Amino acid sequence: MEQSLIDLYRAIEDSSAAMLAAASREDWDGVMHHEGTCAVLIEQLRSSAQGCRLAPELRKEKARIMRRILDNDAQIRILAEPWLASLDPLLQGRPQFVH
């Protein structure tokens, strides 16, 4: 069980890296595709991780992976800021809805 959990963390890390690569190419459709993959993997992790504790060495690996995912996320946000700013003129004057 522990190995399958860490494998899910690694798959999320890989998808996060693919999102960053897509953002670096300004491939926003690719970013959204990999974001969807991450969402599916995270849901699988949530359902699999209930009641399971990782061994100390795997907790260290999990921490390393989480730091990498957070770093990738920060870099993606930096790359996405200009793209998101370019959407502002398109959204001005339109009613905004919160879902």
pLDDT band at 90 (very low <50, low <70, confident <90, very high): low
Nearest to 45 by CA among 77, 1, 79: 1
Res 27 pLDDT > 90: yes
Rounded average pLDDT over 42-53 = 90
Helix or strand or coil: residue 3? helix
Nearest to 37 by CA among 14, 6, 3, 60: 14
Res 9 pLDDT > 80: yes
